[in-house]
Amino acid sequence: MLLFSLDSRALTILSSYHHNADTSQHLDTVMNIAITNQKGGVGKTTTAVNLAAALAERGLQTLLLDLDSQANATANLQVPADQGSVRELIGGERPHIYATGTPNLSMIPATVDLAGAETYLAKSADAEILKRALEPLEKRFDYVIFDCPPALGQLTIAALVAADYAIVPMEAGIWEMQGLVRLMEVLERTDTKLLGILLTRYDKRLGISADTHNQLTKSELPLFNVKISERVAAKYAAIAGQSIIAHNPTSDIAQQYRLLAKEVVKYAP
């Protein structure tokens, strides 16, 4: 039984975005990826942290950038942010890059003062501030992963302008699909390619999960093959201040993030 469906306008917007997004190109240099969704609670930070950890596990030099003033990714990896944060990077200063305790994974953390960056970016009216600030760092890394805030504000726009691709974690549901339409319109304006939609907190036993998957397939948007399950292991890892890859490497969800990294890497061999 179909629980919901998108109207024709929404499907047109999603389908037209897909035709403008060429995810078949391979990059010869660093790959900047924004993990973004304006809706909170969809596993965005969990995905940013654990995708970064899974890429690092493959021997790829990875930089995780925490752009959320809640600083959950920073807390998740127990980075102290005592020698500066991403706020300095946005302000044009040379940032301190922290080791995370995971080989090949570095981080520029966030603190609560990042909240003021929204006003700073709005006043500057310069959407390429972050893009320029990252250019001197990119030769050091294979991947830069942005953990964006749960809003379509100035920080998110700056991240999308700086990113080559976006990954959109989302749960199953009609409101999540409607929110996706709005996000696709923003990606179109920032000229950010959609690498893929990642279904999170996925439960194949629920009809809403199947309906969401069917609607995404109908839209022809790129969709990752792997789906991220709801697992308590992710919460325990965050409490322990580690990625799932480090804290519980044999868990189902750790393997799911490894499969996500494998899918991502095929676009940047």
Q: What residues form DSSP beta bridges with 145?
A: 33, 64
Q: Is there a contact between 130 and 90 (Cβ–Cβ < 8 Å)?
A: yes
Cβ neighbours of 236 (radius 10 Å):
14
Cα-only R_g, the chain: 18
Mean pLDDT of the chain: 86
4 within some domain: no
Residue at 9 is within a domain: no
Task: State the Cα–Cα distance between residues 136 and 139, nearest whole angstrom.
Answer: 7
* Per-residue pLDDT at 16: 59
Q: What is the pLDDT of residues 5-25, one digit of tens each?
A: 555 555 555 555 544 444 444
pTM of the model: 0.89
- Please give the pLDDT value at position 210: 77
Closest to 67 (Cα-Cα) out of 187, 154, 169:
154
Count of beta carbons in the 10 Å neighbourhood of residue 10? 18
**193-199/165-170 β-pairing:** parallel
Q: At what angle do helices 8-20 and 174-190 cross, to 10 degrees?
A: 40
**What pLDDT score was predicted for residue 7?**
53
CA atoms of 86 and 66, how far apart (whole Å) = 7
CATH number of 178's domain: 3.40.50.300
Residue 5 lies in a domain: no
Residue 189 belongs to some domain of the structure: yes
207 band by pLDDT with thresholds 50, 70 and 90? confident
* Residue 236 contacts residue 196 (beta carbons within 8 Å): no
Write the DSSP assignment of 144-156 as a string of letters. EEEE--SSSSHHH
| Number of structural domains the chain divides into | 1
Q: Is residue 141 in some structural domain?
A: yes
Identify the H or E element spanning 237.
helix 232-240
CB 149 within 8 A of CB 156: yes
- Taking the CB of residue 91, how many other CB atoms lie within 10 A of it? 13
Does 166 map to a domain?
yes
| CA pair distance 106, 64, nearest whole angstrom | 6
pLDDT of 19: 41
- Rounded Cα gap, residues 89 and 244, in angstroms: 28
Dist CA 177 CA 80 (whole Å): 36
In a domain, 17, yes or no: no
Please check whether residue 3 lies inside any domain of the structure.
no
State residue 216's pLDDT score: 83
- Domain around 124: 29-264
